Amino acid sequence: MQETLANRQGFWQALNESERTALRAAGRTREYAAGTLLCSQGADPDHVLIILDGWVKVTAGRADGHEVMLAIRGPADTIGESGWLNGRPRSANVKALNRVRALAVPAEQFANFLNAHAHAAQVLARVMVGRMDDADRRMTSQVGTSGPKLLALLLLDLAERYGVPGADGAVALPLPLTQHELATMIGRARETVARALTVWRKHGVVVTQRMRILILDPGALREVAEAEDEF
């Protein structure tokens, strides 16, 4: 998993120290309480955020009034760069899941930074391409795939991105996500997530606490993700 984590590190992690120093000088640090809206769908993309601490969820409103959870972002991730690049209003809402500290960089200053730092521009391009690939893969996998398998795929993906290695191969997910939010991310009902987690707890695959999941047996979860039938 270490190689995968290195390949999928966030934007801030991939910058060198001189680039981080320049970016800090271009912006200012902001703090947001849990539940605060960092970005609003339809708003002008006048700044880019880089998460330093904490977690946010990215959602979009549908025509029927329901909200779809598109992604979760954490330390070292960027927010709002796509709207700034294409010059369109923000396409999603971004809300703090817990206390968040982020570096806010005005759009013009962020553009100047990228123009002056070719390596940072390449890093951002890789991050954005990776996100597009992830979105395509999620859309493809949801067609004809069972809820438990989708949940296993999601947990493994989150483990690769944000997991904290523990004893005996266990991986902790320090993400404050509810069962409802997990269900929204895979396009299934909350009851589907609850049933799958109950089965996996019984088999010693995971341990769940309030908005926290410990994957005890990543190999077993990978078998679920790769199997034709449900676990």
| pLDDT at residue 202, rounded to an integer | 97
Alpha carbon distance 149, 223 (integer Å): 9
- Mean of pLDDT over the chain: 89
If you average pLDDT over residues 189-213, what whole number do you get? 94
| pLDDT at residue 8, rounded to an integer | 56
Which element (helix H / strand E) includes 72? strand 67-73
By three-state DSSP, how is residue 142 classified?
coil
| pLDDT at residue 230, rounded to an integer | 45
Alpha carbon distance 143, 154 (integer Å): 15
Domains of the chain: 2-140 (2.60.120.10), 146-226 (1.10.10.10)
| C-alpha radius of gyration, the chain, whole number | 18
- pLDDT per residue over 8-67, tens digit each? 578 999 999 999 999 999 999 999 999 999 999 999 999 999 999 999 999 988 777 778
What does pTM read for this prediction?
0.84
